[in-house]
Chain A
């Protein structure tokens, strides 16, 4: 069964706007990671946030984690056409296996 579920499934915005994607999960986690996948390519790691952290930044990316609500969000600020991709959250539980959600397809229109 899926541990992480992303919302929305698809998101279409204009260049320059911010994009927010959400991830909910069911059981306690050690950490949560976000990955990006361009069409037909491998996944690229974006950011890892540990269960005792609430927020992390990396460039135009901001990730929050709310363990009480079992949810995380990924914010991409000032989006660019090159940000068009699928974004996946992955949760690592005790037992150390990563479980991926089904992803959010982000389209940034020029």
Chain B
């Protein structure tokens, strides 16, 4: 399975932007990059996903490097409710019959 590497933890201040990096140097051409987050004592929540182009939605932006070996999840203005573990996961292949394997993720702490 293609692997991702994320920092164990990051810290941010409220209302400031946060850039969460992810390395996936063994990514192949059809692998999608997915981001999920998990708040304490809850199930994970989908954040965003992309293939090649940068993506934006109401929660975040995803910036994908041109060589696709890395990506960055951008929270434009962190709030205390964004404190969570953020997981960068590769969806292997372009097919619909996929499963997601979680790594350790990045624990984001947001300071008031």
Q: Do A and B bind each other?
A: no
Q: Which residues of B contact A (CB under 8 A)?
A: none
On A, residues with C-beta under 8 Å from B are: none
